[in-house]
Structure 1
Amino acid sequence: MDNATSPTIDTLAGATNKRMVVTGASSGIGYAIAKQLLAQGHDVIGLSRSAPDLDHPRFTWCTADLDDTAAIAGLAQQLGTVDGLVHAAGFMKTARLGELDEASGEAMWRLHVAAASALANALVPAMREGARIVLIGSRVSAGAAGRSQYAAVKAAMVGMARSWAIELAPRGITVNVVSPAATATPMLSDPQRTSSAPVMPPIGRYVSVEEVASMVAYLLGPQAGAITGQQIMICGGSSL
């Protein structure tokens, strides 16, 4: 962990200044979420393989290979008490029946579901009352041709989040899933999804990362205390 800008518990005295963990903070949705939270005055701990281009006094980057779920508990111990967890790290590999790759399916499961589970398992016991968890899902969780393995892990994420939500409700900790349709990130041109091209939403453009980040920031805030166990679609009409 980079201690040069590591936040301390003393910085949490203010009601609006929270410590948030964001995975996948080096690019795409995770990067946009980290920027949004920093702009709101929060301390952000970014977890990613590569260093984000974020130079901010309240930002701390921890190199993390979330594919190695066995190492997550040790990493979480270094983070201390946090007020929020956003799991935005992910990737998609598509294939149709007859061409499914077992290793790809297992890799998506580890990153999208197992890593989220390991992080929450390690961080939640020390979370303060009223903390927040947001997982980045996908509209594809309802199913899509050529994306069955990806849909399966995102659907599992929703079931996992709803289970956590009912467990943690007595502590005032909310758990939600934000599920965008095709979003303007590097994933759109990822060669691993060549068998299933992105679909333009009915609004005539892709969802922006800032739109996703704004919804996540709202769910992490005090006004969203009564929203828990929900999958919120940001789909530009794709699910209509």
Structure 2
Amino acid sequence: MPSDQPPGLRHAVVTGASSGIGAAIAAWLLREGWRVTGLSRGAPPAMPAGYEHRAADLLDPAATAAALDGLAPFALVHAAGLMRAGALGGLDPAAGETLWRLHVDAAFQLADALAPRMPEGGRIVLLGSRAAGGAPGRSQYAAGKAALVAMARSWAVELLPRRITVNVVSPAATDTPMLRDPARAGMQPKLPPIGRYIAPEEVAALVGFLLGPHGGAITGQQILVCGGASLG
């Protein structure tokens, strides 16, 4: 049977907690009795009791390191994200670098700092994307999200002796402010076959399961929340 998690261990660090999926994950965990430390440049408008905000620009390694000082959570959720589109022949190197630094380099820094401090049985969840399987006009974004899968599987093997799980949750187009970002006006997302966008709370509930006592046997996996978009 899955072991119970003592309430004192239910502390998660969630990046990108100011809006979108990150905010939904933080709110879901708080409602379930977790303590949450949110890392983002701006604070969310309101959160239930148990939330601590630490301002951090994840593109700045020094600022990120300072924000992580003293933290030893049970779980890490890297949900901070950004989408930029561009087709071959018109790729923006600066945009590609920003996407990689936020999605991949920041994940390296976060896990490298926090995993050694986690108790046995801890959890790491990285927010990926269905685009990791390839998406026209999104190669720079897809490359970073695909890298998260390789990272998670590598870390999952390394952390098996301590029973720390590492997984990637990869949604299709999700109804968040990023979906309406003017920067992606020229490349609108496809509506999933279920006829609506994924709700942030649906992603949050899956992340919550992976962090909970019944998620301890799932590790090294990419789990799609795609509304049928991966069915071909």
Q: When the two structures are superposed, what TM-score results if normalisation uses the length of structure 1?
A: 0.92
CA contact (8 A) 1:21 1:44 kept: yes
CA contact (8 A) 1:147 1:196 kept: no
Name the structure 1 match of 2:167.
Answer: 176
Name the structure 2 match of 1:123.
Answer: 114
2:23 to 13, 24, 31: 31
Cα distance in 2, alignment partners of residues 56 and 189 from structure 1: 26
Give the paired residue count: 227
Secondary structure in structure 1 of the residue aligned to 2:37 = strand
Cα distance in 1, alignment partners of residues 10 and 133 from structure 2: 33
1:54 to 38, 46, 69: 46
1:66 aligned to 2:46?
no
CA contact (8 A) 1:25 1:89 kept: yes
Secondary structure in structure 2 of the residue aligned to 1:199 = coil
Name the structure 1 match of 2:218.
Answer: 227
Alignment RMSD (CA, Å): 1.3
Cα distance in 1, alignment partners of residues 128 and 8 from structure 2: 26
Name the structure 2 match of 1:185.
Answer: 176
Q: Shift of residue 191 of structure 1?
A: 1.8
Q: Shift of residue 16 of structure 1?
A: 7.0
Show structure 1 runs of 4+ deviating over 3 A: 13-17
Name the structure 2 match of 1:102.
Answer: 93
Gaps of 5+ in 1: 1-12
Please list the CA deviations of residues 151-200 of structure 1 after superposition, one character each: whole Å capped at 9, or x if unmatched: 00000111111111110011000000000000000111112223321100
CA contact (8 A) 2:27 2:48 kept: no
Write the letter of the residue equivalent to 1:118.
Answer: Q
Name the structure 2 match of 1:93.
Answer: 84
CA contact (8 A) 1:94 1:194 kept: no
Write the letter of the residue equivalent to 1:21.
Answer: V
Percent identity, aligned pairs only, is 60
Write the letter of the residue equivalent to 2:27.
Answer: K
Q: Shift of residue 53 of structure 1?
A: 1.7
Relative to structure 1, is the Cα distance of residues 212 and 16 closer, same or farther in structure 2, using a 3 angstrom cutoff? farther
Secondary structure in structure 1 of the residue aligned to 2:170 = strand
CA contact (8 A) 1:20 1:42 kept: yes
Name the structure 2 match of 1:18.
Answer: 10
CA contact (8 A) 1:17 1:41 kept: no
1:83 aligned to 2:68?
no
Q: When the two structures are superposed, what TM-score results if normalisation uses the length of structure 2?
A: 0.95
Cα distance in 2, alignment partners of residues 144 and 196 from structure 1: 11
Q: Shift of residue 69 of structure 1?
A: 2.1
Secondary structure in structure 2 of the residue aligned to 1:159 = helix
CA contact (8 A) 1:96 1:195 kept: no
Cα distance in 1, alignment partners of residues 20 and 206 from structure 2: 15
Q: Shift of residue 74 of structure 1?
A: 3.0
CA contact (8 A) 2:31 2:48 kept: no
Relative to structure 1, is the Cα distance of residues 55 and 138 closer, same or farther in structure 2, using a 3 angstrom cutoff? closer
Write the letter of the residue equivalent to 1:74.
Answer: A
Cα distance in 2, alignment partners of residues 157 and 17 from structure 1: 26
CA contact (8 A) 1:23 1:46 kept: yes
Q: Shift of residue 222 of structure 1?
A: 1.1
Q: Shift of residue 17 of structure 1?
A: 5.1
